[in-house]
Amino acid sequence: STMNNSISLFITICLCLTTTTNAFVSLQGQPAFFSCSNRISSTKAPSAFDRRRILVGMESDFASAMPEKPQLSLKERLVKSSEEFVENIRGNLGEGVEEPPELIALEKAYKEDKVDTEKLSILIYELMIEAGMLYDRDPDTGTMTPTGFSDIENMLDVPEVKAEFQYLYRYGMNLISTGVAKVDAIKEVVKSRLISRTGLTPEKFDEWLGY
């Protein structure tokens, strides 16, 4: 399996925030990896897991007459997605595989009434990165085990590695462009959890990803 397998089940977190856009933030004075204007934003097609969560219609006349469910706020949607994300990872970790500390941090945060949406969004993002970087997911069983992609600096030419970084980088940029999280917060996550793993400078990181 590849690192991409560990992210594909979690695309609904993107959907709960907003739809993606081709508009990226241009920031004067920011490092190159936040000032590109020609990026193409995209998301993966929802997996079977995700499609089951998308309401596509009602076939029953009785069901159509039922009162509509109350709309959830952004924070409520984030809390719900956080709970499901934590449960999914925890329930699929292989025997003896330790939980990442980012899972504990997210679980603690969404249980706090005063946590804000930006904090939840960043914690989800951090857990998404670590889930993608640290584990492989078996495509048949869903079991998550430590990844074989450990020496990333020497695997930058592997297409699966590059695709994983592109996906996670775009997700962070979308959090900025939609106003869910501030530039400085996402910049720190990208630098510490993505760029640092490659051994590249921010400028070379952008170049590597084709921006």
Residue 27 has pLDDT above 70, yes or no: no
Q: What is the C-alpha to C-alpha distance for residues 183 and 177, in angstroms, rounded to an integer?
A: 9
Highest mean pLDDT among 21-25, 26-30, 48-52, 115-119: 115-119
For residue 41, the Cα-to-chain-centroid distance in whole angstroms is 14
What average pLDDT does the segment 82-99 reach?
95
Highest mean pLDDT among 55-59, 112-116, 135-139, 192-196: 192-196
User: DSSP letter at 137?
Assistant: E
Q: What is the pLDDT of residues 159-210, one digit of tens each?
A: 989 999 999 999 999 999 999 999 999 999 999 999 999 999 999 999 999 9
Torsion region of 165: left, alpha or beta (phi above 0 gives left; psi -120 to 50 gives alpha): alpha
Average pLDDT score over the chain: 76
Residue 200's beta-bridge partner residues?
none
Structure tokens at 153: 């600096």
Per-residue model confidence (pLDDT) at position 53 = 37
Which residues lie below 8 Å from residue 4, measured CB to CB, with a gap of 6+?
Answer: 132, 160, 163, 164, 167
Q: What is the pLDDT of residues 119-157, one digit of tens each?
A: 999 999 999 999 999 999 999 999 999 987 778 999 999
